[in-house]
Structure formats: C-alpha cells, structure tokens
Amino acid sequence: MPDVFADLVGQDEAVDTLRRAAAAANAVLRGPTSVEEGAAPGDPGAGMTHAWIFTGPPGSGRSVAARAFAAALQCAYGTGCGTCPGCHTTMAGTHADVRLVVPEGLSIGVGEMRALVLRAASTPSGGRWQVVVIEDADRLTEAAGNALLKAVEEPPPRTVFLLCAPSIHPDDISVTIRSRCRVVPLRQPPPDAVAEVLARRDGVAPDVARWAAAAAQGHVGRARRLARDPEARKRRDAVLAVPRRLTGVGAAFDAASALIEAAEAEAEASVAETDAAERAALETALGAGGTGRGAAGAMRGAAGQIKDLERRQKSRATRAQRDALDRALVDLAGFYRDALTMALRAPVAPVHTDTAAIAEAGAQKWHAEGALRRLEAVLECRAAIEANVKPRIAVEAMMLALWKG
C-alpha cells in the first residue's frame, strides 16, 4: 500500500524532511516531556515546528505536500502509512482536525481567516494536532495576513499551520510570517518522474504519459489532464496553432480574441455547475416569500446574502479565467522556448514534441534573437496580467509582438 507521500513526484528531499518532522511530532505526542513543558513544537531540535511554508512552481505539488504532511501528523503511527483512519480521513478531506482553505476568489479575506484561526485554537478532537492548510497563501489580503500572523506568532500548543505559496518573495508571503515558518522548497519535477506516476497511478499508456509530462512542463495536474481529457488536448492544440496563424495585424487581433474567448469559455464551463448549485442551495435555505412580521427585514437580509454570493462567484470566475489564460500562455511560451533551443542547437528535448517541426521552421526563420524576443513577449504578457493589466490589452500587445518579431 503506498503511503501518503507517494504522490509527491520527484521531491525526495522534501519528503525526507517531512517524514522526519512527522516522526518528531509523533514523539512529542508520546514523549515523556509534554508540549506544555516546552519540548516542542517550535523547538528546532525536535525536527517539528508549528508553521511551515511549501514553495515551488505551480504544479510542483505544494498542496499535495501540505496535505500529505497533514495526514502524516494525524497518522496513528506517525508515519503517514496511508491506511489508518487518520491518514485516510485527512487525504479524503474529512478529518475533523484538518482545515483546508482553498481560496475561490482572487484573495482570502480577513473574515474567513479570523474564523479559521479561532477554530484552529481549539483542542484537537482526535487527540493529535489541529492542522490548518492554506493553499495559495500568496492570495491572503493584508488584513487576513495580519490575522494569520497573530496566530503564527502565538501558536496554540497543538496547532500546526501549513502554507503554500509560489515562493518566499515578499510579494508572495509577508516577511514577518515567513520568519516564523520553516520553508520546504519543492522543485519542478522532471518529466520522467511525472510520466512514471501517470503510468503507475493513473494507468496512462507509457508513450502518452511521456508526451503529456513533457507538454505540461513539470505541472503534474496539467499532465494528467492532457493525458486523460480530450477537451484539454483540443484547447492546447488551438493555442499551439497561434504562431502559424499570425500572418498580419488583423490576424494578430483575431488570435488575441480567440485566445481570450477560449479562456473565458473554459472558465465558464469550470464554474457554471458550482455556481448554479450554490444559488439553488441558498435560495432554498432562504425560503421563498413570507408575509409575517419581520418578513421585510428577512427579505433585506436575503438580498444581501444573494449579493454576497454573486460577488464571490464573480471573483471565482475571474480567477478561473486568469488561470485558463495563464495555462495557454505557458503552452505558447513552451513553443517559443523550443524554437529558441533549436536555433541554439541546444541538446535539450522539446517541450511540445508534436509541434517540434513547426518550431524548427521558426528557428530557421527567426534565428535565436527572434525566437528569444518572441519568448520574452509571451513572458511579458504573463507578467502584465499578473500586474493587473487588462488581459485583452496585454494579449493584443503580445500577439502584435509575436507577429512583428
């Protein structure tokens, strides 16, 4: 039976650290010196501490690592065996002492964080640890960050915070929070390791697994989608057709529109079902009509709740669009990276094996400088959108730069 760390692809060093920490945490719970006497957490000698940050590029498995570590902390054997109830319920997302924060919008608000910190301070019902996993801790609002900082500075004795962020750059995580945390850096897993796990765990045919792992550029979740979802493959094909379609100014604007609209459609499909279900549940909970005393006040309250929901859903849709567009830009960057490495005759495998011939033609025509300029145009577009430039404007500027070279 694979243990809870089995899905962490190509991260031997991080897994080693986490296994040791889980064993140390287990020793704290069983040991003769209790937490109250100051043995740990927070004691560096114990190998365990109360606040962690998992960093790494998207798809490297930050949240997978955090969840696996949470399971190991709740594991009856302190190892993350993968089979005991503690491991099992944590991995299934139903453990009473593990709280998972997955921000749906562009940021995590202070209200959500305060409620979480409050609950995290309670005594663990399972007798082990209260674990709080915060995915995308870089999306904390400043106020939410401050609420979290207070908890991390004065941690309840049995509470462990696991944060996930792209990096420990101050843009991603505040310096004060970072200073209280131990950092577990994850690396971009090598394509071989990704292909191996797709084949072993998901039953993907080895050649498809190798292709998907390379095309996903180290993003495990993306590799799995490419290997298994024909729609995801179709969207990728459309993106990779862009370089061939850039034959003039008009074509560049058309390509920009197509890219934006495809991202919107993909995002809409991904949130539509949840949106409708949430709306129906809220309307049922609020009840319809009502004429008695206080009905007018209740209706005002209901309108407020519906507005709230709509705001949350809009924020989630915006994020889904940005994520979809970013995936497309990463694919496109991979194509120009291939052209660049071919122009340089660098002995590295292409990202997109299926468009290698087109990238080679581009390399002949553009030479290394032209390929590099185009790659930079794609990366600049990503950075501009990250800095809140309107996506359509950024993408149009990119397409023009790709066409002109």
Q: Note the residues at the interface with Zn ion (CB under 5 A).
A: 75, 81, 84, 87
Nearer to Zn ion, 49 or 90 (CB): 90
3-state per-residue secondary structure call for the chain: CCCCCCCCCCCHHHHHHHHHHHHHHHHHHHCCCCHHHCCCCCCHHHCCCCEEEEECCCCCCHHHHHHHHHHHHHCCCCCCCCCCHHHHHHHHCCCCCEEEECCCCCCECHHHHHHHHHHHCCCCCCCCCEEEEECCHHHECHHHHHHHHHHHHCCCCCEEEEEEECCCCCCCCCHHHHHCCEEEECCCCCHHHHHHHHHHHHCCCHHHHHHHHHHCCCCHHHHHHHHHCHHHHHHHHHHHCHHHHCCCHHHHHHHHHHHHHHHHHHHHHHHHHHHHHHHHHHHHHHCCCCCCCCHHHHHHHHHHHHHHHHHHHHHHHHHHHHHHHHHHHHHHHHHHHHHHHHHCCCCCCCCCHHHHHHHHHHHHHHHHHHHHHHHHHHHHHHHHHHCCCCHHHHHHHHHHHHHHC
Nearer to Zn ion, 53 or 75 (CB): 75
Name the minimum Å distance from CB 179 to Zn ion.
32
Nearer to Zn ion, 87 or 164 (CB): 87
Name the minimum Å distance from CB 92 to Zn ion.
13
Nearer to Zn ion, 81 or 116 (CB): 81
Name the minimum Å distance from CB 264 to Zn ion.
43
Name the minimum Å distance from CB 88 to Zn ion.
7
Nearer to Zn ion, 87 or 209 (CB): 87
Name the minimum Å distance from CB 78 to Zn ion.
8
Name the minimum Å distance from CB 80 to Zn ion.
6
Nearer to Zn ion, 76 or 358 (CB): 76
